[in-house]
A and B are shown apart, each in its own frame.
Chain A
Amino acid sequence: MAESLAHPLQSQAATHDSALARSIPWYIWACVIAVLSGVFGAVWDISWHESIGRDTFWTPAHMLIYLCGVLAGLSCGYLILSITFQKDSPLRDSGVTMWGVRGPLGAFICSWGAAAMITSAPFDNWWHNAYGLDVKILSPPHVLLALGMMGIRFGTVILILAEMNRAEGAYRARLEKLFLFAFLFLMATTVGMAQEFTNRVYMHGAQFYLVIMITAPIWIATVTRASKSPWAATIMTAMYTAMHLAFCWFLPLAPAQPKLGPVYQTVTHLVPPDFPLLLIVPAIVFDLLRRRTSTWNPWIQAPVLGAAFFAGFLAAQWPFATFLMSPAAHNAIFVANNYPYFVPATSLWVRNIFVHSEHSTTQFWMTMSIALAVAVLMTRIGFSFGDWMRRIRR
Chain B
Amino acid sequence: MTSLRSRIFKLALLIVAVALPISAHVGSADVFFEGSAGPYHLFVTIRVPQVIPGVAEIEVRSESGDVRSIQIVPLRLTGQGSNLAPTPDLTVQSKDDPQFFTGNLWLMESGALQVRIMADGTKGKGEISVPVASFAQRVLPMEKPLEWTLLFLMIFLAVGIISIVGAGAREAKLDPGRVPGPPNSRHARIIMAATAVAVITALFLGRSWWGSVDLDYQRNVNHYKPPQAETSLENGNRLILRVSGLDTTWNGRIDLSKLILDHEHLMHLFLIGMPGMDRMWHLHPNPTPDGAFAENLPNMPAGRYQLYADIVDRRGFPWTLVAEVDLPQISDGVPLSGDDSSWSGAPLASAAGNQTVAALADGGRIVWNVPPGPLQSNVAMDFKFTVEDQSGKPAQDVQTYMGMAGHAEFVRSDFTVFAHVHPAGSVSMAALDLAQASLPGATSSPQDSNPEGMAMSMPMPNSSASIPPEVGFPYGFPQPGDYRIFVQVKRAGRVQTAVFDAHVQ
Contacts and interface: CB of A to CB of B under 8 A. Distances in A.
A222 B441 CA distance: 62
A130 B80 CA distance: 28
Nearest to B210: A140
A115 B149 contact: no
A97 B167 contact: yes
B163 A98 contact: yes
A264 interface: yes
Given A108-B164, A266-B84, A261 B75 contact: yes
B136 A132 contact: yes
A126 B164 contact: no
A135 B175 CA distance: 48
A119 interface: yes
Interface stretch (B48-56, B389-397, B406-414, B449-457): B48-56
B168 A105 contact: yes
A194 interface: no
Contacts of A14: none
Given A108-B167, A140-B206, A261-B73, A133 B213 contact: no
Nearest to B104: A55
Contacts of B140: 126, 129-130
A384 interface: no
A166 B177 CA distance: 13
B213 A262 contact: no
B113 to A, nearest CB: 7
Contacts of A344: 80-81
Contact of B51 (A129, A261, A345): A129
Contacts of A262: 74-76, 80-82, 84, 108-109, 113
Contact of A140 (B141, B172, B174, B209): B209
Given A257-B86, A346-B80, A392 B172 contact: yes
Interface residues of B, number: 54
Contacts of B142: 126, 130
Contacts of B139: 130-131
Contacts of B144: none
B171 interface: yes
Contact of A115 (B51, B156, B177): B156
Interface string B60-92: 000000000000011110001110111101000
A257 B503 CA distance: 47
A55 B171 contact: no
Given A93-B177, A133-B54, A135-B53, A53 B164 contact: no
A392 B173 contact: yes
Which among A129, A260, A346 has the highest number of chain B CB atoms within 10 Å?
A260
B51 A122 contact: no
Interface string A246-264: 0000000000011111111
B87 A257 contact: yes
A203 interface: no
Interface in B97-118: 106, 108-109, 113
Interface in A127-172: 128-135, 139-140, 143, 158, 162, 166
Q: 4 shortest A-B CB distances, which residue pairs?
A: A262-B81, A258-B86, A133-B53, A130-B140
Given A126-B140, A262-B82, A262-B84, 10 more contacts: A98-B166, A105-B172, A112-B164, A132-B51, A257-B87, A261-B86, A261-B108, A262-B74, A262-B108, A394-B174
Interface of A: 53, 55, 93-94, 96-99, 105, 108-109, 112, 115-116, 119, 122-123, 126, 128-135, 139-140, 143, 158, 162, 166, 257-266, 341-342, 344-346, 388, 391-394
